[in-house]
């Protein structure tokens, strides 16, 4: 149990497929308070291994390719900590992909399976095969980015990061499937979060 969170990890090893850590996750709410959200990290910054929480059983698994091997990104490793906001849904009826709302946390690498608090500063608006694939940009409460207020502040103090994120997320898998719509500011990002939280509450009436 990580202090402050309801996070339960179950370690499982598969023989013949390498040691694979699986975490069964009972995460926190989407928001800690009005200013902070919770993000569950699936992929640490600097990792090329594609892990994801299963919608079927809520277990964090290393994705498998067609040959049954752990999926590794055939590109540069993830430039940010990547995960999702618990208890959110990008509902298909609203043009979403049916998954939880994605989030990327700026800063040093955070261990897989960790839940971390942060502040939203922007949203990267993407389409993946025509479905909304918005990704919140989050700064942790501690660290070099903790003082960043919004996207303009990030661009002024850390020039190039937003462009790196745009290029990476539109190119790392199939560039033909990903379409960059634009950047949304902090207010737009908060609207995306609210809609995803409301969609989760209406589940399973939404598909």
Q: Where are the domains of the chain?
A: 30-49+73-202
CATH architecture, domain 30-49+73-202: Alpha-Beta Complex (3.90)
Confidence (pLDDT) at 20: 34
pLDDT in tens, 194-205: 999 999 998 765
User: Exposure pattern of 147-185 as b/e (b: 16+ CB <10 Å)?
Assistant: ebebbebbbeeeeebbeebeebbbebeeeeebeeeebbe
The predicted model scores a pTM of 0.85
> pLDDT category, 22, cuts 50, 70, 90?
very low
Q: Is the Cα torsion angle 62, 65, 70, 73 positive or negative in sign?
A: negative
């Amino acid at each position: 149990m990580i202090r402050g969170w309801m996070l339960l990890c179950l370690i499982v090893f598969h023989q013949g497929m390498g040691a694979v850590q699986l975490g069964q996750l009972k995460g926190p709410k989407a928001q800690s308070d009005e200013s902070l959200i919770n993000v569950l990290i699936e992929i640490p910054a600097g990792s090329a291994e594609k892990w994801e929480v299963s919608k079927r059983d809520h277990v964090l698994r290393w994705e498998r390719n067609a040959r049954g091997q752990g999926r590794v990104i055939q590109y540069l490793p993830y430039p940010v900590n990547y995960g999702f906001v618990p208890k959110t849904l990008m509902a298909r009826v609203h043009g979403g992909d049916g998954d939880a709302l994605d989030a990327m946390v700026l800063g040093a690498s955070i261990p897989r399976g960790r839940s971390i608090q942060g502040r939203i500063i922007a949203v990267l608006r993407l389409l993946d095969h025509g479905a909304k694939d918005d990704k919140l940009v989050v700064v942790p409460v501690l660290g070099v980015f903790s003082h960043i207020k919004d996207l303009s502040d990030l661009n002024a103090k850390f020039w190039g990061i937003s462009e790196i994120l745009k290029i990476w997320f539109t190119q790392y898998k199939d560039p033909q499937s990903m379409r960059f719509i634009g950047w949304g500011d902090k207010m737009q990002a908060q609207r995306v979060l609210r809609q995803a939280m409301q969609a989760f509450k209406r589940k399973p009436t939404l598909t």
